A and B are shown apart, each in its own frame.
Chain A
Amino acid sequence: MGTQPAKDRSAGLVQGTLDMLILKTLALEAMHSYDIGARLARVSQGVFVVNPGSLFPAFRRLERSGLIRGEWRDTENNRRARYYSLTSRGRKRLGDETKHWRRLSGAIARVLEA
């Protein structure tokens, strides 16, 4: 990542997968938009770098589906930012998706190793 302006390397991410990763990121604590993108990049060790052009529509999508909730709060350095947090429905969906994903990726791995 470094100082180079990041290129959107989320193109390989299917919409649903990006949504799941965002839900997972928010499972720990409420976050604002930049932190969500940055954490996704950091945790994936630079594999998923998601641009605002994909990130913000995903927030709107999840919010419309009632999976996350956004509210304005002050940050630690006293700026206003929109913090997103999981709703109970979002938490449930994350559980379902994770289970589904585990089963799927396990199966794919077994097929590939066979």
Chain B
Amino acid sequence: MDALGRFFRGLRALFRRDRDDHELDEELRAYADDSAAAHARAGMDPAAARRAAGVEMGSAEAVKDHVRDVGWETHFDSLLRDLRYGARILFRHPGFSAAAILTLALGVGANTALFSVVNAVLLKPLPYPDDDRLVTLAGTHSVPDVADLATLSKSFTAMGTLARWDADLVGEGEPERIFAELAGEDTFKALAVPAAIGRTFDARDDQARAPVVILSDGFWRSHLAADPAVIGRKLTLSGKVYDVIGVMPPGFRTPFNGSAAQLWVPFRFGYPEAAEARGAHFTNPVARLAPHVTLAAARAELELLGRRLAEAHPDEARTFVPEPLRDRVNGEIRRPLLLLFAAVSLVLLVACANYASLLLARGAGRGAEMRLRRALGAGRGRLVRQLVTESALLSLLGGLAGALLASLGLRALAALRPEGLPAVNPIGLDLDALAFALLASFVTGLAFGAAPAWQAARGGERPPASSTTSAATSPLRRGLVVAQLALALVLLTGAGLLMRSFAILLAQPSGFQPAGVLTMRLQLPAARYDSIPSQQAFLSRLEEGLRDLPGARAAGLVSELPLSGWRMMHNMIVEGQPQVPEGQEPEIYTHEVSPGYFAAAGTPIVRGRGIAVSDAPGAALVGVVNEAFVRRFAPDRDPLGMRARWARADPNAWMTIVGVVGDARFESLGEEQSPTIYTPFLQKQQPWKRWTAVVIRTAGGDPMAFAERVRQDVRRLDPALPITEVRPMSAVLLSSVSDRRFNLILLSAFAGLAFGLAAVGVYGVLAHLVAQRSREVGVRMALGARRLDVLWLMLRQGLPLIGLGIAGGTLAALASTHLMRSLLYGIGPGDPLTFVAAAACLALVGVLASLIPAQRAARVDPCIALRAE
């Protein structure tokens, strides 16, 4: 209350300052009159009385100053004055101001952009109430397992599960592929986010016969025109009619599958076969811990339940290990992101060094001004305050410019967005980021502006320093340059290591030849393709049609594309292997392929044959394996003629191995090769595998030019079948390395930024030296020194700085690159080639940056240089 009153009275005083001053004058005058009158009454003569009154008063100005100091508005006033003065000074030296602001903006901008990512991904909670109570289970699991755990477990208030589902929306015109998710009934209850309109799934849906669907806010707006009476409307998805029962609030996203799902349906309706299949481990559970239940307690209970389930279903024994949902969502990206953030902090440090260096040089140039102001009675504190105010002004402008750069940077980042970056919280330049930018800018601006300010203010006390060693080239400034160079080298070495890893990775044999290959995905709707023969009939006709397209060299079908990240494992029994208990048979990757696939993908057939048209239903069952399979199961015998079968199917359905193909990468380029078996899709045994990818090798040119012809061909066979993920094989390959590419590009950009800033730092110091020694150079040249001598003389000034920078940077890099071991591929964190190359690169740039001012010195005209002083 008191403080508020003081605030408002001070505010009022701000607007009537002149009147207040005038009144104070009058009051003081009245006081002096009274005082003189009192003295006169005591017997003084009028002149002496007036004198005595004057002595009593002292300096009226001093009294007024004391009175003014009582109100806060006085300080505000002098701050305004400092700001005005500071702005004028900055405006009068546009070169310096622009350099300082740009330096801050680059450092702060890069940091703010990355902070926005770190904030959204690592710092902000997941967008669910009490997100720290949410857990998932390590790995992927089947719907029946999760349903059993949900029923039996006491540790959770709710447990659901999610799996990706591509839904075909048939409305008007072209069928559309909608990114959707299958959701266990309790999923939304576990996430604890209620619907904005209608309701989420509940027990009623278990009994109900009619399929139901929940929409995202985005889908509701884009496809249903935000119809407020949407509940009860019908949607036809993949051949089934669904009732809309709810719309989620804006911004609601599920934690898995790239958080991109636009609608949700229960497993029972979207994928009835999988809802019953205990062996189909493809869903991501999400559960909410009951109050007071710890993760450890839940883990113990699930271990027990896992054993009970294994007894009931011995052929599907699984372990269930709960882990915090946050860790699953962020786990993979956490380390790279923190490393990148550390890297970008180094960039900020380099920028800070430049900034401090600029201010030091500037402070040295203001010695005369400071001395004058000291002489006129300004206290040192007052001068420091003035300089700090100027610094703060620079910080503010630098921070705002940095936020601007950050928003541009984020746009570039969005284009690079790697697949592994969680999207559950949107990434954007929000208030947090703006606050971060201003805070970073003020902290750096003030921390790195204070020392130069102090030095400058102190400079005001002393006589001018001798002209050859000013603060501009003080040990502090040289130290800053060395530090900059060292930091830049650390970043450059890190970027170099990533670059080498990336090159080595891309040079890995992929097991296919992506050039000129077009790919796409098809999902056959259950409504029209529920039986194996119907699927086979369609796929056979499709492959024939594609093969005959003019310009197509080869065409084939494969259940999962190489490097798409999709693949399935099955327990298999390989003939001649030791007997193992049920449920522990070796897991082998399986793909269904058409006869044309190996030629279309460019996967070489090493022994035997590929899949043939004759491998049809009714013919002998066959399979083709990869080299890793041979290494594992037939290291010293002929794999051809060996037999294998599905562990969970007809025990007499043996497939004979008829060929061996090269190892192809399906998960990532750097992966270990795992045993894999390719089976003919004409002999498929699982009716629920209704998806396929199309692979077409074209005669050359841009494979995308082929897309329309393929589309027409598919539409000719089935006009209601949506085609998705139409892209060249090279794009599939590139997106498989998008996480690494993201790290590489970002770290390289940071290294480049730090490098540029450090080069500017070296240049600045050398340029200053050259300017200071131009007279000396003039004398030397007049005495017969050659230009080359002068060049060397100046260059020599920079070499110790560069040398120290390289030594320090190499040591620091040696000490820190092991942190990025998990990001490297094919090289160690101490890779000598990278270290040498980075140091050489830094040396080169350092020398170049010194060469420019040195050359200027060598061009000095002795006559002009000598006359100048």
Which residues of A are at the interface with B, using a C-beta cutoff of 8 A? Answer: 2-3, 5-6, 32-35, 38, 51-54, 56-57, 59-61, 63-66, 72, 79-82
Contacts and interface: CB of A to CB of B under 8 A. Distances in A.
B71 A52 contact: no
B205 interface: no
A56 B5 contact: no
Nearest to A4: B52
Contacts of A33: 27, 30-31, 34
A64 B42 contact: no
B24 interface: yes
B9 A64 contact: yes
A88 to B, nearest CB: 13
Interface of B: 2, 5-6, 9-10, 23-24, 26-28, 30-31, 33-35, 38-39, 42-44, 52-53, 55-58, 62-63, 66-67, 69-71
Contacts of A80: 26, 30
A38 B36 CA distance: 12
B27 to A, nearest CB: 5
A79 B29 CA distance: 11
11 contacts: A3-B52, A32-B34, A33-B31, A34-B30, A51-B58, A53-B62, A57-B63, A61-B70, A64-B9, A66-B5, A72-B23
Contacts of B58: 51-53
Contacts of A63: 9
Nearest to B42: A3
Given A34-B38, A52-B57, A65-B2, A57 B69 contact: yes
Question: Nearest 9 CB-CB pairs, A to B?
Answer: A34-B34, A60-B70, A5-B55, A5-B52, A57-B66, A66-B5, A60-B67, A56-B67, A82-B27
Nearest to B13: A64
B31 A34 contact: yes
B24 A56 contact: yes
Contacts of B55: 5
Most buried by B among A38, A53, A63: A53
Most buried by A among B33, B66, B71: B66
A53 to B, nearest CB: 5
A64 B69 contact: no
A64 B71 contact: yes
A61 B66 CA distance: 11
Nearest to A2: B42
A80 B31 CA distance: 11
A76 B515 CA distance: 107
B56 A64 contact: no
A5 B38 CA distance: 11
B6 A64 contact: yes
A52 B66 CA distance: 10
Given A5-B55, A52-B57, A56-B28, A66 B2 contact: yes
A3 to B, nearest CB: 5
Contacts of A66: 2, 5, 9
B35 A34 contact: yes
A32 B27 CA distance: 9
Given A64-B6, A64-B10, A79-B33, A52 B42 contact: no
Nearest to B56: A5
Contacts of B42: 2-3
Given A6-B56, A34-B38, A82-B23, A65 B33 contact: no
A82 B30 contact: yes
A64 B2 CA distance: 9
Nearest to B68: A60
Contacts of B33: 79
A33 B38 CA distance: 13
Contacts of B27: 33, 56, 81-82
Given A38-B38, A64-B10, A3 B70 contact: no
A32 B31 CA distance: 8
B26 to A, nearest CB: 7
Contacts of A56: 24, 27-28, 63, 66-67
Nearest to B60: A52
Nearest to B59: A53
Contacts of B57: 51-52
Most buried by A among B6, B10, B24, B27: B27
B24 A65 contact: no
A10 B10 CA distance: 27
A108 to B, nearest CB: 27
Contacts of B63: 52-53, 56-57
A64 B28 contact: no
B43 to A, nearest CB: 7
A49 to B, nearest CB: 9
Given A33-B27, A65-B5, A52 B38 contact: no
Contacts of B2: 65-66
A79 B26 CA distance: 11
Contacts of A61: 70
B5 A52 contact: no
B818 to A, nearest CB: 61
A6 B23 CA distance: 25
Most buried by A among B2, B23, B34, B55: B34
Contacts of A34: 30-31, 34-35, 38
A57 B67 contact: yes
B67 to A, nearest CB: 5
A65 B57 CA distance: 25
Most buried by B among A2, A54, A60, A72: A60
A80 B38 CA distance: 17
Contact of A64 (B24, B31, B43, B70): B70
B48 to A, nearest CB: 8
Nearest to B73: A64
A47 B174 CA distance: 100
A35 B34 contact: yes
Contacts of B44: 3
B31 A53 contact: no
Contacts of A81: 27, 30
Nearest to B70: A60
A97 B53 CA distance: 33
A22 to B, nearest CB: 14
A57 B31 contact: no
A70 to B, nearest CB: 8
A32 B34 CA distance: 10
A107 B34 CA distance: 40
A35 B26 CA distance: 16
Given A64-B6, A79-B30, A52 B70 contact: no
A5 B6 CA distance: 35
Given A65-B5, A81-B27, 15 more contacts: A3-B52, A32-B30, A33-B34, A34-B30, A34-B34, A34-B38, A53-B62, A56-B24, A56-B27, A57-B67, A57-B69, A60-B67, A65-B2, A72-B23, A82-B23
B5 to A, nearest CB: 5
A28 to B, nearest CB: 18
Contacts of A5: 52-53, 55-56
Contacts of A6: 56
Contact of B6 (A35, A52, A65, A79): A65
B30 to A, nearest CB: 5
A38 B63 CA distance: 18
A38 B43 CA distance: 17
A75 to B, nearest CB: 9
Contacts of A64: 5-6, 9-10, 70-71
B69 A52 contact: no
B43 A3 contact: yes
Contacts of B43: 3
Contacts of B28: 52, 56
Given A33-B27, A52-B28, A66-B9, A57 B70 contact: yes
